[in-house]
Structure 1
Amino acid sequence: MTERQIRIFGDPVLKTVSDPIGSIDDRVRGLVDDLVDSVRPPGRAGVAASQIGVNLRAFSYNIDGDIGYILNPVIVETRGDKEPVEEGCLSVPGLWYPTPRYPFVRVTGTDVDGNTIELSGTGLLAQALQHEVDHLDGLLYLDRLEKADRRAAMKEIRESDWF
């Protein structure tokens, strides 16, 4: 289908809790195609439907060349204590801050045929799964930052040329 434009900080869709996907129709299939096309460019680990302006619970991922998607994802398991991991976001261009994330995560959901999908891992995959589910819950990684880092990030945003 099409690589879609990424919505930027300040767009209300990024702070909206996404609706669950009910029946799978051509609209949902088209969304999946767009999500997959939108995550292909280099440097993209994940794209949530809300980041392309669609208020549905779906995201795509691109981890070490493994590209896929998941509908109605739910984090079903975390392991370890949260650790600060350098994190950025396509919707907050140019900013990177240490964000507390679990070192292991397992997510379940479905594909467009209704089959169960399970994604689990550590490192970048664990970080991306948490980051994208946060998007679907109306959260940006900025919402997870320590107070001083969040204040610094907001200052950087206000001074950026894209805001």
Structure 2
Amino acid sequence: MIYPIVAYGDPVLRKRAVDIEKGSIEITQLVNDMFETMYNAHGVGLAGPQIGKSLRIFVVDGTPMEEENMQDFKKTFINPVMIEENGNEWPFEEGCLSIPDIRQEINRKPQVKIRYLDENWEEHEEVFDGVKARIIQHEYDHIEGVLFTDHLSPFKKRLLKSKLTNISKGNVNVEYRMAFPTRKK
């Protein structure tokens, strides 16, 4: 099932998501639906809040990126815990399915260490570098109620204010279904 992507301005994007208890939901179906939704929108990551579910889960697949070593980067992160972020911050242009048509250079640390459960409820603790780390940080922010625009300077945020308002009102043209906070019944 392809979910609509929740647009900027929806309160679910600002809440810290809750842990998923094993057996509380059909996790295999949710993971499959999240990948299907992400692929439909041509994304490389998607978090629970972006489909209206305040759950600590995100999926990633770096295969579409032209970066080196991304072919094997298809993963599910359930109840992740960021253990460390290391290195000197580096800039990279980011975008977000919930904030279409806006891309900005964001500074993030180049290495993360994260503990998570996969879709089979097996625990992992891994270190990721470079673009993999960045994708994880971006999606992890989503389950913490943080958006990539929160990392911008106050000046850049002011410059984007009207664009962000338009997105929340549904005044945006995308090739995937979205749910807008001001259009709810």
Q: Which TM-score applies when normalising by structure 1?
A: 0.89
Q: Which of the residues 87, 92, 100 maps onto 2:99?
A: 92
Retained in 2: the 8 A contact 1:97–1:149? Answer: no
2:141 aligned with 1:134: yes
The aligned counterpart of 1:8 is 7
Counterpart residue type for residue 13 of structure 1: V
Of residues 143-152 and 47-56 in structure 1, the stretch that sits farther from structure 2 once superposed is 143-152
Q: Which of the residues 69, 82, 87 maps onto 1:80?
A: 87
Retained in 2: the 8 A contact 1:24–1:112? Answer: no
Counterpart residue type for residue 5 of structure 1: P
Q: How far is the alpha carbon of 1:104 from its aligned partner? A: 1.2
Counterpart residue type for residue 152 of structure 1: L
Greater relative contact order structure (CA < 8 Å, 6+ sep): 2
Q: How far is the alpha carbon of 1:116 from its aligned partner? A: 1.1
CA deviation string 1:75-120 (max 9, x = no partner): 1122112222211110000001111211111221002332113443
Q: How far is the alpha carbon of 1:55 from its aligned partner? A: 0.9
Q: How far is the alpha carbon of 1:11 from its aligned partner? A: 1.1
CA distance in 2, matches of 1:119, 1:47: 19
Task: Give unmatched runs, 5+ long, in structure 2.
Answer: 64-70, 173-179, 181-185
Counterpart residue type for residue 34 of structure 2: L
Counterpart residue type for residue 148 of structure 2: Y
The aligned counterpart of 1:60 is 59
The aligned counterpart of 1:156 is 163
Larger radius of gyration: 2
Q: How far is the alpha carbon of 1:25 from its aligned partner? A: 4.2
Secondary structure of the 2:33 match is helix
Secondary structure of the 2:112 match is strand
Task: Give unmatched runs, 5+ long, in structure 1.
Answer: none
- 4+ aligned runs moved over 6 Å, structure 1: none
Retained in 2: the 8 A contact 1:21–1:72? Answer: yes
Of residues 20-29 and 133-142 in structure 1, the stretch that sits farther from structure 2 once superposed is 20-29
Q: CA RMSD in A?
A: 1.9
Secondary structure of the 1:10 match is coil
Of residues 138-147 and 115-124 in structure 1, the stretch that sits farther from structure 2 once superposed is 115-124
Counterpart residue type for residue 7 of structure 1: V
Q: Which TM-score applies when normalising by structure 2?
A: 0.79
